[in-house]
């Protein structure tokens, strides 16, 4: 059973007399209430004391919620210089971590999540009142919002969704505030979203940028390392998780590491992980072979507390629960993950488009490298350099090609083109195309340079998944933090010239330069990357019976989003699936999420009634 206290949540309400029923529902579930100077509630929810720092200066209130370097004293000092909302972000500059910000400045409210999307924000009108929350499920519970089947259809795509669709709420009547935007709440009850974050100029040479990334990562990891606290960390043998382990050891962490030894011929991950473990002082190194772990896709018949949206966690859920138990038994209270490294430190190859206009010789040379490495055709290579970028037109074109089998395999200027699997129904295709067409009428790219847009977008995808991983870990009893998805870390990456951060002749040159002398050279110069393909296929074969039951009782089929016969063939004969593992895993994740939601219609953190445990406070601390 999930402990309600394992999942934090909050809502922000305006400083006005709220409808009695709305206030009663929130007060009944909230174990923490922070008040305005008027005495009316401002923040309601559930969080541990270390998860929120607060300050007050006269009528001005400020709160930072999540994992951050903020302290009450530090925020009080920062708040002294804040007079308007325009001053707020400058005052918060330099805070490390992953967090939400909420403020009230003389009647004007301000709330935002993280630029990476790891901390998200949603808004709804509830009984005539604008309420914002860190969880869409909270607002869906308050409004009685229905599932949006178009959003379900979108989650079947084999790749991540393009901006601005990524991270949209799964319920009608719940609006997602885009990462990098803040919600401004005016005294008259109206609200609007506006950008608070802008990407830094991509002007730093590699050597300078690597130093900035090293310091950002060092601060992000040190923040998670607290005195007399045992920390768990993944040690896959890859560069991302290995770098975090060495940074944690440098910060003095009592470290327990977990290495999974996949049953893949020629697998080298565990050799590199062992090499790293031998050079990490004082750690407890755990290694799990495939034979010691549940098979992939174990637990199809078990229902879990749903996450904020569907996620492809089903394959590894039972395995990760097994690992989390072993880590907890050795005292771990938090688990570090290298998730997000691929997204943050490797810019998409579409940076070549802008580079060709600044430095044609360098662009052509690097294009030749990508063409040889990734087997691009001459036509696709030329298109990468010569296309006229137009993001709305790209989205509109995507809407007409939602089931073109090879479109996701070609280099794309604006990022991966989303493709629905062959078993998606005509209704699913129509609804997804309508989402794309609507977005194309008003969407603006995240940057005018297609490569920069794609880099920011893939970082935000990493952040979105990091938030889901954290929740999934918390449900299993060991929250997962992804320091590579902190805003300061991603900003440090974006500040580096992309042609130096991600050229085709070296693997993760930016991270390698940042970790030089801290991580042993053989680990930084590794050129291979392993996979779990045999374990994946073995899991599908082992669990054919429950998969057949899912095919016969599919919630996706019942919703009109999947063709029953084609879905059954995909589940029982995965080798015939032209879309590969991502398409099937996203479909299984969406099917699982629907089943879990049917079993747990009310979020468990809201089913709890902590009336006797409530902490009521003003924003001053």
Q: What ranges do the domains of the chain cover?
A: 4-148+168-197
Q: What is the pLDDT of residues 18-49, one digit of tens each?
A: 999 999 999 999 999 999 999 999 999 999 99
311, 586 contact by CB (below 8 A) = no
What confidence tier does 531 reach under pLDDT thresholds 50, 70, 90? Answer: low
Strand (E) positions, 310-383?
A: 332-336
pLDDT tops 90 at residue 323: yes
Average pLDDT estimate for 127-147: 96
Q: Which of 443, 445, 361, 454 is nearest to 411 (CA)?
A: 454
Percent of the chain scoring above 90 in pLDDT: 78
User: Residue 621 has what pLDDT?
Assistant: 40
Q: Which residue matches tokens 């029982």?
A: 572
For the chain, the average pLDDT equals: 91
Please state whether the peptide bond connecting residue 164 to the residue before it is cis, i.e. omega within 30 degrees of 0: yes
Query: SS3 string of 211-250?
Result: HHHHHHHHHHHHHHCCCCCEEEEECCCCHHHHHHHHHHHH
Which one, of 222, 216, 285, lies nearest residue 253 by Cα?
222
Within 8 A by CB and 6+ apart from 71, the residues are 53
Q: Rounded to whole angstroms, how far apart are CA atoms 25 and 336? A: 35
Q: DSSP strand E in 295-452: where?
A: 332-336
Give the pLDDT score at 614: 53
Per DSSP, what are the bridge partners of residue 1?
Answer: none
Element at 548 (helix H, strand E): helix 544-552
Q: What's the Cα-to-Cα distance from 71 to each of 52, 53, 77, 78, rounded to whole Å?
A: 9, 6, 10, 10
CATH code, residues 4-148+168-197: 3.60.20.10
Task: Decide if pLDDT at 172 tops 70.
Answer: yes
Of 12-16, 383-387, 402-406, 562-566, the poorest mean pLDDT is in: 402-406
Q: 612 pLDDT exceeds 60?
A: no
Distance CA 230, CA 333 (A): 6
């Amino acid at each position: 059973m999930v402990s309600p206290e394992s999942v934090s949540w909050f809502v922000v309400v305006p400083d006005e007399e709220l409808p009695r029923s709305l206030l009663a529902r929130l007060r009944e579930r909230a174990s923490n209430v922070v008040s305005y100077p008027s005495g009316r509630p401002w923040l309601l929810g559930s969080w541990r004391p270390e998860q929120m720092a607060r300050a007050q200066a006269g009528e001005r209130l400020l709160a930072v919620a999540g994992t951050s370097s903020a302290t009450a004293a530090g925020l009080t000092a920062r708040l002294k210089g804040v007079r308007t909302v325009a001053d707020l972000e400058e005052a918060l500059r330099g805070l490390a971590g992953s967090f939400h910000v909420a403020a009230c400045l003389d009647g004007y409210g301000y709330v935002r999540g993280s630029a990476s999307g790891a901390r998200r924000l949603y808004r709804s009108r509830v009984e005539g009142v604008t309420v914002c929350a860190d969880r869409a499920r909270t607002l869906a519970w308050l409004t009685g919002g229905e599932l949006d089947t178009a959003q379900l259809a979108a989650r079947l795509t084999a790749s991540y969704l393009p901006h601005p669709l990524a991270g949209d709420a799964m319920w009608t009547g719940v609006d997602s505030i885009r990462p990098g935007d803040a919600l401004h709440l005016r005294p008259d009850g109206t609200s609007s979203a506006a950008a608070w974050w802008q990407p830094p100029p991509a002007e730093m040479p590699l050597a300078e940028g690597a130093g900035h990334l090293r310091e950002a990562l060092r601060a992000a990891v040190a923040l998670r390392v607290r005195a007399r606290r045992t920390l768990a960390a993944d040690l896959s043998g890859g560069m991302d998780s290995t770098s975090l382990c060495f940074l944690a050891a440098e910060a003095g962490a009592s470290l327990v590491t977990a290495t999974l030894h996949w049953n893949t011929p020629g697998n080298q991950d565990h050799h590199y992980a062992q090499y790293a473990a031998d050079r990490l002082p004082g750690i407890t190194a755990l290694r799990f072979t495939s034979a010691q772990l549940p098979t992939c896709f174990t637990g199809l018949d078990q229902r879990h507390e749903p996450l904020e949206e569907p996620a492809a966690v089903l394959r590894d859920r039972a395995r990760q629960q097994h690992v989390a138990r072993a880590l907890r038994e050795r005292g771990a209270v938090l688990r570090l993950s290298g998730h997000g490294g691929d997204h943050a430190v490797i810019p998409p190859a579409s940076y070549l488009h802008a580079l060709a206009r600044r430095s044609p010789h360098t662009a052509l040379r690097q294009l030749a490298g990508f063409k040889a490495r990734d087997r691009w055709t001459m036509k696709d290579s030329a298109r990468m350099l010569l296309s006229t970028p137009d993001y709305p037109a790209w989205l509109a074109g995507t809407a007409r090609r939602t089931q073109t089998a090879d479109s996701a395999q070609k280099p794309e200027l604006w990022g991966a083109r989303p493709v629905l699997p062959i078993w998606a129904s005509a209704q699913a295709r129509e609804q997804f195309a309508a989402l794309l067409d609507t977005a194309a009428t008003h969407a603006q790219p995240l940057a005018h340079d297609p490569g920069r847009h794609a880099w920011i977008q893939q970082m935000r995808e990493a952040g979105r998944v990091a938030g889901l991983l954290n929740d999934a870990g918390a449900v299993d009893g060991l929250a997962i933090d992804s320091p590579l998805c902190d805003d300061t870390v991603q900003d440090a990456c974006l500040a580096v010239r992309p042609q130096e951060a991600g050229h085709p002749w070296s693997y993760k040159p930016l991270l390698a330069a940042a970790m030089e002398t801290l991580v042993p050279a053989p680990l930084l110069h590794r050129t291979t990357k392993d996979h779990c393909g045999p374990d994946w296929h073995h899991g599908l074969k082992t669990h054919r019976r429950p998969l057949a039951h899912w095919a016969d009782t599919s919630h996706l089929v019942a919703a009109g989003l999947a063709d029953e016969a084609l879905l059954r063939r995909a589940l029982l004969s995965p080798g015939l699936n032209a879309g590969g593992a991502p398409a099937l895993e996203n479909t299984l994740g969406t099917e699982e999420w629907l089943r879990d939601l049917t079993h747990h219609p009310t979020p468990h953190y809201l089913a709890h009634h902590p009336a006797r445990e409530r902490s009521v406070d003003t924003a001053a601390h």
